[in-house]
Amino acid sequence: MATSSSRRPVLFLHGYWHGSWCWAEVLELVTAAGVRALAVDMAGHGLRARHSQELIRHPGDLEVLATAVSPLASVDLDEAGGLLVSQLERLGGGEPVVAVAHSMGGVVLTRAAQLAPHLVAHVVYLTAFMPASGVPAMAYPRLPENDGDLVAASIVADPAAVGALRVDVSSADPDYRQRLRDAFYGDLDPAAADAAIALLTPDAPAGIALGATTLTADGWGSLPRSYIVCTRDMCIRPALQRKFIADADAAFPENPTIAHTLDASHSPFLSMPGQVADIVLQLALLSRGPAG
Q: What is the CATH number of the domain that holds 8?
A: 3.40.50.1820
Query: Quick check: is 41 in a domain?
Result: yes
Span of 115-119, 240-244, 285-289 with lowest mean pLDDT? 285-289
Tell me if 133 is assigned to some domain: yes
Distance CA 10, CA 95 (A): 12
CA distance linking residue 90 with residue 95, whole number of Å: 9
Looking at residue 229, what is its pLDDT? 98
User: For residues 166 and 169, what is the distance between their CA atoms, to the nearest angstrom?
Assistant: 9
* Nearest residue to 245 (alpha-carbon basis) of 154, 127, 146: 127
Which residues partner with 262 through β-bridges? Answer: 230
Residue 125 domain-assigned (yes or no) = yes
Domain assignment present for 119: yes
User: Is the distance from CB of 38 to CB of 169 less than 8 angstroms?
Assistant: no
- Is residue 131 scored above 80 in pLDDT? yes
Give the total residue count for the chain.
Answer: 292
Question: Do the domain assignments include residue 164?
Answer: no
Q: What's the mean pLDDT in 167-196?
A: 96
- On whether residue 169 sits in a domain, the answer given is no
Model confidence band, residue 136 (pLDDT cutoffs 50, 70, 90): very high
Q: What average pLDDT does the chain have?
A: 94
Q: What is the pLDDT of residue 62?
A: 82
pLDDT of 31 strictly over 60? yes
Per-residue model confidence (pLDDT) at position 290: 44
Share of the chain above pLDDT 90, in %: 88
Which candidate, 13, 23, 24, places its Cα nearest to that of 101? 13
Least confident span in 46-50, 276-280, 283-287 = 283-287
- Average pLDDT over every residue of 201-218: 98
Residue 291 lies in a domain: no
Is 98 inside a domain boundary?
yes
The pLDDT of residue 289: 53
pLDDT reading at 59 higher than 90: no
Please determine, for residue 203, whether its predicted confidence score (pLDDT) is greater than 70.
yes
Residue 130 has pLDDT above 90, yes or no: yes
**Number of domains observed in the structure of the chain:** 1
Cα gap 103→184, rounded to integer Å: 10
Average pLDDT in the 211-239 region?
Answer: 98
Segment among 12-16, 47-51, 130-134, 202-206 with least mean pLDDT = 47-51
Q: What is the average pLDDT across 147-156?
A: 96
pLDDT reported for residue 202: 95
Q: Is the pLDDT score of 81 beyond 90?
A: yes
Over range 27-39, report the average pLDDT: 97
What range does the domain containing 232 cover? 4-54+75-146+212-286
- Whether residue 248 contacts residue 215, with contact meaning beta carbons closer than 8 Å, is answered with no
Lowest mean pLDDT among 5-9, 26-30, 40-44, 107-111: 5-9
Nearest CA to 95 among 11, 185, 8, 191? 8
In the chain, what percentage of residues exceed pLDDT 70?
A: 96
Instruction: Decide if pLDDT at 58 tops 90.
Output: no
**Interval 9-37 mean pLDDT:** 97
